[in-house]
Amino acid sequence: MAASPRETPRSISLAQIGLWLQFGYFVGGGLLSAAFVPYPFGMLMIGAVGGGLVGLLLVVGVPALGMGAGLLTLMIGDRFQGARSAAVIASVVLATGAAAAAFASPMPFVTLATALPWFAIQAMTVVNLRTAEADRWFTGPDEVAPEP
């Protein structure tokens, strides 16, 4: 049964939720967990930019990530093809940054352990954006986008 134009497919809804979960876990598990765990991935990612910019990134960069998640969510809901590509690229770049932070950490296994749920959320988001259902959402009901 085909979905009506106003009905959002499940994979698209899950991808939109995944974008918000990525932001939420970055703040909660990557930054706020510093109160309980040494060297969480988010603090190391922000700290890698440089000593003087850490405060600026916390005040400006973290809200900008939230606005980016919100904008991508809205654009995906509006079937904008570029939003799917942007979400996939952003997820891969952020996952690479978290992995690099884990390997540069004084306690790499602890940092990697704080990042593992984030990797899972990112994978879930990317997979849901690459389903046949998502292809139909972005291209219309008659054609399916080719596999990469």
CB neighbour class for 78 (10 Å; exposed up to 12, middle 13-18, buried from 19): exposed
pLDDT at 1 (0 to 100): 40
Q: What would the pLDDT profile of 106-138 be if each residue is shown by its tens digit?
A: 999 999 999 999 999 999 999 999 999 999 999
What is the distance between the terminal CA atoms of the chain, rounded to a whole angstrom? Answer: 26
Threshold 0.85, pTM exceeds: no
Q: What would the pLDDT profile of 23-52 be if each residue is shown by its tens digit?
A: 999 999 888 888 898 988 888 888 877 677
With a cut of 50, say whether residue 3 has pLDDT above it. Answer: no
- Break the chain into its structural domains and give their ranges: 10-139
